[in-house]
Amino acid sequence: MGGEAGAAAEDRPRPTQVRRVVTGHNVQGRSIFIRDTAAPHVYQRTAEGVTVTEVWETRSTPADNSVDSEDPTDRPMRLQPPKGGSIFRTIRFMPEKLQHTALKKQLSEGDDGSGIVTALKKGASSRAPGFHTTNTIDYVIVLSGEIYALMDEGEVLLKSGDVLVQRGTSHAWSNRSRKPADLAFVLIDANPVS
């Protein structure tokens, strides 16, 4: 596939889109680019005030790099990776003033099959909306903007370039700024905290 140099400006991903470039192997075993497009699976989760872009998923560890034909993100949105797998996604968090009312409405309506509402309901009595827990270890990188990471006890402001390692804890996110915050997440299946 072609690189970005030859792409017209209108063909480049918009700021809320993620350009996904994926490598693979040809029949001779040589390295090639097999995909170079905007990530196709983008979920506008208005109630949470977020836009989730699914970049890649693995369904086992170790991952199988010999399969190039299918897009592993071509499936319904889910909060956690499959057992033994991982998910790479980006999330744009809108300023929280825009999301609290809508989030409370979604919590009252029920789950859509993704597991997100169920996880959020478990944390609904917490000090901030959106508290949830996953059986994962998450590597989180702030790409732009700033956001507060909230724990049961304490919070920390993360800014562009900061990294958080989230280890199966109850947590929430709070964008108290006036601008969106863009974060990248790698979620890896983990044993539940006992």
Q: Using CA atoms, how far apart are residues 131 and 119, in angstroms rounded to an integer?
A: 8
**pLDDT, tens digit (0-9, with 9 covering 90-100), for 132-162:** 899 999 999 999 999 999 999 999 999 999 9
Q: pTM of the prediction?
A: 0.79
32's CB contacts (< 8 A; 6+ apart) are 23, 24, 25, 26
Domain boundaries, the chain: 41-189
DSSP assignment, residue 132? B
Multiple choice CATH, 41-189, 1.10.3210.10, 3.40.1190.20, 2.60.120.10, 1.10.287.70: 2.60.120.10
166's CB contacts (< 8 A; 6+ apart) are 136, 137, 138, 140, 149
**pLDDT, tens digit (0-9, with 9 covering 90-100), for 78-106:** 899 999 999 999 999 999 876 665 566 66
Q: Is the peptide bond before 76 cis (omega within 30 degrees of 0)?
A: no
